[in-house]
């Protein structure tokens, strides 16, 4: 089973690229972030015509996440528990049936947190703490699950083109990394690094300053796996060629492969 995560940076702007990519790669599951669309306006038909079941959790102009699957979802949960006042659309969980048992797949868009000196950074840290609690509760079920998405976290210096330029940013500072390590310490495996220890491989390149042709990137799109999912891990790769397409997202897809069938 191939499970991709991709921050598409707006379904309206990236609709044609998404369809082209789905036809080319044909993932079993696609976790999308930053769809920037309310649910009722999401262009469903062309995606469903390709054979995908589609679930969204959107909001107008900002954020928004989606799950696409060739198999129907047995259950869908929207919103990360822990804060009933949080109205931002950043989390959707789907449960699928596989030959190896149920598989939970989450598409998440963790808050950016910048500027650090505003309320945006405490919101990011609070969201991460809620995700840690979610992970602890799900791990108690002893089932396979995948937390896939744009984490807005640069895990190590090997995941940025320039440590000094990024250090102190909300994506790459001690408080952020402490909580990311705490999330991993619940028992999760970061799939890409479990498969590849080559430094300076990235999933995001800014639109400014020639970042893409100069390979000035960062790696912030991750799959975190429960122990039961990690036992099924076969591979994880960054599909960077998509960044060369016309009107690209500033992120590229990252593809996870699990031995589920």
The C-alpha atoms of residue 15 and residue 41 are separated, in whole angstroms, by: 13
The C-alpha atoms of residue 75 and residue 83 are separated, in whole angstroms, by: 21
Q: Would you state the structure tokens that stand for residue 80, as one six-digit string?
A: 């990360």
DSSP 71: S
DSSP 142: T
Q: Apex CA 238: angle with CA 236 and CA 239, to 5°?
A: 125
Residue 71 near residue 3 (C-beta atoms within 8 A): no
Flag whether 250 is marked binding: yes
The C-alpha atoms of residue 117 and residue 136 are separated, in whole angstroms, by: 30
- Residues serving a catalytic function are 109, 150, 251
Flag whether 34 is marked binding: yes
Flag whether 152 is marked binding: yes
Residue 52 near residue 70 (C-beta atoms within 8 A): yes
Give binding residues as ranges: 7, 34, 150, 152, 250-251
Give binding residues for Mg(2+) as ranges: 7, 34, 150, 152, 250-251
């Amino acid at each position: 089973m191939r499970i991709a995560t991709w921050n598409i940076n707006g379904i309206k702007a990236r609709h044609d690229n998404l369809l082209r990519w789905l036809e080319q790669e044909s993932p079993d599951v696609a976790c999308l972030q930053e769809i920037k669309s309310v649910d009722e306006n999401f262009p469903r038909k062309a995606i469903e015509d390709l054979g995908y079941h589609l679930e969204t959790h959107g909001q107008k102009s900002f954020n928004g996440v989606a799950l696409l699957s060739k198999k129907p979802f047995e259950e869908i949960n929207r919103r990360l528990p822990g804060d009933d006042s949080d109205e931002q659309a950043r989390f959707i969980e789907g449960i699928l049936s596989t030959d190896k048992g149920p598989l939970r797949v989450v598409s998440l868009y963790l808050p950016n947190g910048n500027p650090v000196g505003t309320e945006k950074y405490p919101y990011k840290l609070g969201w991460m703490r809620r995700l840690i609690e979610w992970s602890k509760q799900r791990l108690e079920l002893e089932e396979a699950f995948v937390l896939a998405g744009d984490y807005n976290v640069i895990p190590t210096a090997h995941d940025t083109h320039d440590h000094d330029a990024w250090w102190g940013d909300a994506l790459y500072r001690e408080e952020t990394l402490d909580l990311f390590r705490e999330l991993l310490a619940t028992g999760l495996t970061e799939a890409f690094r479990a498969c590849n220890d080559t430094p300076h491989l990235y999933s995001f390149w800014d639109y400014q300053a020639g970042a893409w042709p100069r390979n000035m990137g960062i790696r912030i799109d991750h799959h975190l796996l429960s122990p039961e999912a990690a036992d099924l891990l076969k591979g994880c790769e960054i599909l960077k060629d998509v960044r060369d397409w016309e009107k690209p997202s500033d992120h590229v897809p990252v593809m996870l492969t699990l031995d589920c069938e």
